[in-house]
Amino acid sequence: MTTSIDELQKIELAVPKADITLKNIINTLPKECFQQNRRKAWSKAAINLLLVSLGYAGIALSPWYLLPLAWIFTGTGLTGFFVIAHDCGHRSFAKRRWVNDLVGHLFMLPLIYPFHSWRIKHNHHHAYTNNLDRDNAWRPITPQEYESWGNIRQKVFQGFAVNRLWWLGSIAHWAMTHFNLDKFAAKDRSKVKLSITVVAIFAAIAFPTLIATVGLWGLVKFWLMPWLVYHFWMSTFTYVHHTAPDIAFVEDSKWQVAIAQLSGTVHCNYPCWVEFLCHDINVHVPHHISTAIPSYNLRLAYDSIQQNWGLYTHDECNFSWALMKQITDTCHLYKPETGYQSFDDYLALK
């Protein structure tokens, strides 16, 4: 059942907040959901490495007309790299922190993504999911915020939304956030500097080597195009996980963590090959209930949540152009009282 904004308000009135806590939800999950399995974790990493290697071999051997297929396969496999690093960032890949940090850094290297920068910002998103004032992952823009911007920034944002450029969103987030030390607390900056240094050294070696051996076209062919595919999936997963016309973002003073994690996270079904290469990251509701659940246990946890807490979860959806069109046509600006509105609706009311 879809939980609309009005229904959320009724739920908050009908059910005592103390009865809907993350602890209550977690206690209903099978204990197996939280058990780390070394064999599963490392075999998924090994399979991912093998498939991405095959993807690069396909890029090297494919005639020009098959290159898009090779790029899509390889870029999707690289998204699986990110999901493995994602488990590492939540300490659910291995029991030892240094193993998580090492594997996380290694699997993010081809993506030029600073591991600790992402980990710290991403944990903030989990702490304040669908909090209109504090969430930092695809938080919607209110009309008041939009009106406070300058004309150029408004035009850029409007063009981004209307022209369905959601797939560039994670590139902007990556570039503007994860290399900027000013966006991190002083206590975190040493780790952020370490991760930035690691990817900078990798880029300083890998990019000139690619150019020297296969030329500028080789850099585009072997790195840039798969990297863009990775960002397409990164942007799409993030966007769809928390965006729908009836998804509620709540002001900080009214925000309730358990309701937000259950009803503000969308389960979207993707083609099976995408789900396999990306380690079921689309099964996202349980991940927002507890980040301690490894990716290979997400489906088990989701089945339990649906049985016990299905009243509060959003309807499942299937990835399609129709879905993306619905979101990108409707979810432009956000008013806490009424929800999302399109730019056409916003302009009609002015």
pLDDT for 69-101, tens place per residue?
Answer: 999 999 999 999 999 999 999 999 999 999 999
For residue 269, what are the β-bridge partners? Answer: 318
Return d(Cα 292, Cα 257) in angstroms, integer: 17
In the chain, domain spans: 5-349
Q: List the one residue out of 121, 143, 144, 147 whose CA is nearest residue 134.
A: 121
Least confident stretch, 45-54, 92-101, 131-140, 219-228: 131-140
Q: Pairing state of beta strands 317-318 and 268-269?
A: parallel
Return d(Cα 139, Cα 334) in angstroms, integer: 9
Q: How do the residues of the chain divide into helix, strand and coil, expressed in percent and rounded to 5?
A: 70, 5, 25
For residue 268, what are the β-bridge partners? Answer: 317
The whole-number pLDDT of residue 311 equals: 87
The whole-number pLDDT of residue 18 equals: 44
Return d(Cα 31, Cα 34) in angstroms, integer: 6
Angle between helices 321-330 and 225-241 (to 10 degrees): 70
Return d(Cα 78, Cα 274) in angstroms, integer: 11
Region 290-310: what's the mean pLDDT?
95
The tokens for 208 are 């000139």
When pLDDT is cut at 50, 70 and 90, the band that residue 12 belongs to is: very low
311 Cβ partners below 8 Å, 6+ apart?
Answer: 1, 11
13: pLDDT strictly greater than 50: no
Region 35-62: what's the mean pLDDT?
97
The tokens for 282 are 């689309």
Return d(Cα 107, Cα 85) in angstroms, integer: 6
Other Cβ atoms less than 10 A from the Cβ of 125: the count is: 19
Return d(Cα 86, Cα 95) in angstroms, integer: 14
What percentage of the chain reaches a pLDDT higher than 90? 69
The pTM assigned to this predicted structure is: 0.90
Average pLDDT over the chain reads 91
Enclosing H/E stretch for 167: none
The one-letter amino acid at 42: W
136: pLDDT strictly greater than 90: no
The whole-number pLDDT of residue 104 equals: 98
What tens digit of pLDDT does each residue of 160-193 get? 877 788 898 899 889 999 999 999 999 999 999 9
Return d(Cα 188, Cα 324) in angstroms, integer: 36
The whole-number pLDDT of residue 349 equals: 76
Region 59-74: what's the mean pLDDT?
97
Q: Is 89 within 8 Å of 119 (Cβ atoms)? A: yes
